[in-house]
Amino acid sequence: MLKVSKEKTIRFFQAFGKSMLVPIAILACIGIIVGLTAALNRQQVADLLPFMANEHVSYTLLTIRSISLELFNLIPAMFAISIAFGLAEKDKEIAALAGFIAYYVLMFSSSIMVNSSYVNFPANALATALGITTINMGALGGIIAGLAAARIHNKYRTLKLPDALSFFGGKRSVAIITFLSMAVVGQLLPFVWAPIASGMNAVGSGIADLGLLGTFLYGFLEKLLLPTGLHHVVINLFRTTALGGSMMIDGQQVDGALNVVTSLLGNVPTQDLAPFTRFMGQGRMPIHIFGLPAAALAMYRITPPERKAIVKPLLIAGTLSVFLTGITEPIEFLFLFTAPMLFLFHSVMTGLGFLLMHMFSVVIANTQGGIIDLAVFGALVENSNWLSIVMVGIPYIFIYYFTFKWYLAKKNVVIAEGVEATDTTTSKEVSENGAVRDRASVIIAALGGAENIKDAYNCMTRLRLDMIDTSIINEGELKKTKAIGVNIVSKTHAQVIYGPAVEQVADEVKEALGFQ
């Protein structure tokens, strides 16, 4: 019973983390725009490129930046919609609408209470959400609303009412029940939120008080949890809630490292952002830009000559992915399961990267950690101390290269074992439409058939599957479809790693299975 409960809990958090991916991916792109417009608006750029001082150019940059910043104010609403959509079992579009209703009603109902005489709520704990002055819950308000909407949707979407009221049953009941429930919760929330917020601020302050150790633990855990998919939960909580720090901005408390940094980027001295950027992606840069490419070279060098042609394109694609954009899984899953001790070493080095960036007062407001982020948020920003990343990164090249080469050679590890040099299925799938169906058919068969698959979805690099029995998965057949690796999370959940091409693969599989 305990084991079943554990699997159910893990499955929930995986789905929960997955449901937050789309908003975060959007915000990562918007963050680059915010950083670029802030950098281009600096006097140093105008001195170098005089046309940048033109009033029309300045107006354009200001407009783009203002619109981009406004999207960050919608983080809670986006979470509410995305989480409700992601956790809904069926009729996901109905759940998404319920998610928005839940968040809006929750905030509006709370605003009525805090403006009444029933509670004395401190003014500095208020914020504006969707134009409503209400309690400052930040992203957590959206998370709670999304979870509530998903729960209500899954329970009541098939509700049957007497014939006279049947019009309000089924899917229509979801919005009604969501509205009534959140109206009540919103009335009660101000009474309980103040101590909860104080507790979260205390935890955030405790982590801050740990100094370099706290920064190391954040980076270490973020990487160590990657195989389970739960790292998204950790990252997003630090970036969007008080766990990542808080600051009063224009009379309102702004919570979360990402929210504070994007609100202030370009408007305050760069070093003022240092307490918050330590929870961003700057600590990954020595690993992404220097360490993992060196590890890829080591993996290639120790590969037997007869397999180099097979491994080379995988390593090149993975290296470009991590170097340019900071997406690491295509490289990491090449050694995660075949050399887990190397992944532990990699997790420690990631924690150390975060620690060193904190120690050297690096202030880079990125989310991913590739060379594009280094240019936009580092090289183009005054006093970001971006050269410290290069100084740390160069030793990382040698540490990663020689550690990987020594360990893989000593343990006689075969990289991408099971991937074959020639494969007719793969050659067809990239050349003609009929082969798209062929690839999906091969994947489904390798997963034990359609009857063994309960749900299929994806994150940025993995095809995630809820299954009846993961023990019958044929990993060798999956690798013929260019899968980098297979992660069996539990008896009922598995992940097939395809890298950045996973969305297309997932769409093909879902279409073949008849999933939404």
Question: Which residue in 81, 194, 186, 184 sits closest to 136, CA to CA?
Answer: 194
What's the rounded Cα separation, in Å, for the pair 399 and 124? 48
Which residues, other chains included, contact 225 with Cβ-Cβ below 8 Å and sequence gap of 6+?
231, 234
Residue type, 141: G
What's the rounded Cα separation, in Å, for the pair 455 and 466? 5
To 5 degrees, how large is the angle CA 404–CA 408–CA 409?
A: 115
Question: Which residue in 241, 240, 249, 246 sits closest to 267, CA to CA?
Answer: 249
What's the rounded Cα separation, in Å, for the pair 184 and 161? 23
Evaluate whether 319 touches 296 at the Cβ level (below 8 Å): yes
What's the rounded Cα separation, in Å, for the pair 182 and 135? 14
Evaluate whether 365 touches 273 at the Cβ level (below 8 Å): yes
Using DSSP, state whether 73 is helix, strand or coil.
Answer: coil
Which residues, other chains included, contact 83 with Cβ-Cβ below 8 Å and sequence gap of 6+?
16, 19, 20, 99, 142, 143, 146, 147, 149, 150
Question: Which residue in 231, 220, 230, 264 sits closest to 245, CA to CA?
Answer: 264
Q: Which residues are catalytic?
A: 459
Evaluate whether 208 touches 275 at the Cβ level (below 8 Å): yes
